Amino acid sequence: MFMEPSAATTPDKSTSSSSTESSDQSAAFNPETGEINWDCPCLGGMAQPPCGDAFKEAFSCFVYSTAEPKGVDCVEKFKAMQDCFRANPEAYADQLDDDDDDEDDEEEKKDVKEDEVMNV
């Protein structure tokens, strides 16, 4: 499963709003400065090798996208990132397994619907 980009760009409301806390600690993107905090724990290490550069390109594209719907102009960058994940399964096994689970869930739903149709 991949993180929705909005999860990393929306500040976490559960953290204290203390003025001593930096806003970039709760979100990867700080709209006040326009900067992306690649060290944000909310990114789950995705900005690190081996696919960190591909992730950074895709995520940056999404964050700064002005297209409608947001990020539609970044599809190729996200595909390149996913290709990198697939080429490095030892580093991204958890993400790839979750992605496969989503596909399995869809296949299960399709099978159930087909069974329902056959039993009618």
Q: What is the pLDDT of residues 49-107, one digit of tens each?
A: 999 999 999 999 999 999 999 999 999 999 999 999 999 999 987 766 765 555 555 55
Q: How far apart are the C-alpha atoms of 46 and 99, rounded to whole Å?
A: 15
Beta strands (DSSP E) in the chain are 29-30, 35-36
DSSP calls for the chain: ----HHHHHS--TTS---TTS-GGGT-SEETTTTEE-TT-GGGTTTTSTTSHHHHHHHHHHHHH--SSSTTGGGHHHHHHHHHHHHH-HHHHHHHHHHHHHHHHHHHHHHHHHHHHHHT-
User: Quick check: 20 pLDDT over 50?
Assistant: no
pLDDT at 68: 96
Q: How far apart are the C-alpha atoms of 65 and 81, rounded to whole Å?
A: 17
pLDDT at 92: 84
Please provide the average confidence, as pLDDT, over all residues in the chain. 75
User: Quick check: 13 pLDDT over 60?
Assistant: no
- Structural domain total, the chain: 1
pLDDT at 45: 87
Phi, psi of 24 (to 5 degrees): -80, 0
Q: What residues make up the domain containing 65?
A: 5-13+21-118
Top-confidence residue, 3 or 21: 3
Q: How far apart are the C-alpha atoms of 29 and 78, rounded to whole Å?
A: 18
Q: What is the CATH number of the domain that holds 26?
A: 1.10.287.2900
pLDDT at 78: 97
